[in-house]
Amino acid sequence: MHLTNEQLNEYLDNASTERAEIETHLDSCDECAARLSALQALFTDLDSLPDVELSTNLAARFSPRPSLTPQLPRWLTLTATLQAAAALVALIVAIPFFSIMIPQIETPSFTTWLFELQSLWTSWLDTLSTFQLPITQFPNLPAYPVELSTLFIALSIVSIFWIFGNGLLLRNHRHS
């Protein structure tokens, strides 16, 4: 009695539980040995199939993948949060100044502006040269417990901090 197709397949797949019996049979049966050789030849054919090269780089399509949300380092996230908080504080501080200053600014008409450009420019320069802090010009401004000069320095530092933070964020964005 010859080996079954299943026995030969399982033998070559190393999945047979009767290897010794099969080998004994193969030693004495030319027909089954020939069938096994034919099956082995098929295995060899399948193993010989070479890999083919890709014509495109699949990875290139993943680099700009938008669904990958860039995760910022913790310190940078903290910087962004702090600068947002600082900007909010700066806005709150600035609101009283603008609410008082804006109504008092007279916007010249186009023709007036055309004719008085030179004198306006001169007056601006003059104003700048003699500029005093708003509290002296607008007595209704709310009083802060800190010196205005200190406040301006603080706002400047916040601005620098903000610009620096944005620079880091943009640099990270370019690299992602």
User: By three-state DSSP, how is residue 40 classified?
Assistant: helix
Which residues are at the interface with another protein (CB under 8 A)? Answer: 5-6, 9-10, 13, 15, 38-39, 41-43, 45-65, 68-71, 176
Task: Provide the greatest CA pair distance for the chain.
Answer: 119
DSSP H or E segment with residue 88: helix 74-104
Q: How far is the CB of 67 from another protein (least distance, A)?
A: 8
Cα pseudo-dihedral 75, 80, 85, 91, rounded to 10 = 150
Q: How far is the CB of 52 from another protein (least distance, A)?
A: 6
Q: How far is the CB of 110 from another protein (least distance, A)?
A: 52
Nearer to another protein, 20 or 59 (CB): 59
Q: How far is the CB of 8 from another protein (least distance, A)?
A: 9
Q: Which two tokens stand for residue 105?
A: 């600014």
Q: How far is the CB of 130 from another protein (least distance, A)?
A: 55
DSSP H or E segment with residue 167: helix 148-175
Task: State CA 56 to chain mean position distance.
Answer: 25
Nearer to another protein, 43 or 138 (CB): 43
81 vs 110: CA distance, rounded Å: 43
Nearer to another protein, 47 or 106 (CB): 47
Nearer to another protein, 70 or 139 (CB): 70
75 vs 73: CA distance, rounded Å: 6
Nearer to another protein, 61 or 146 (CB): 61
2 vs 29: CA distance, rounded Å: 8
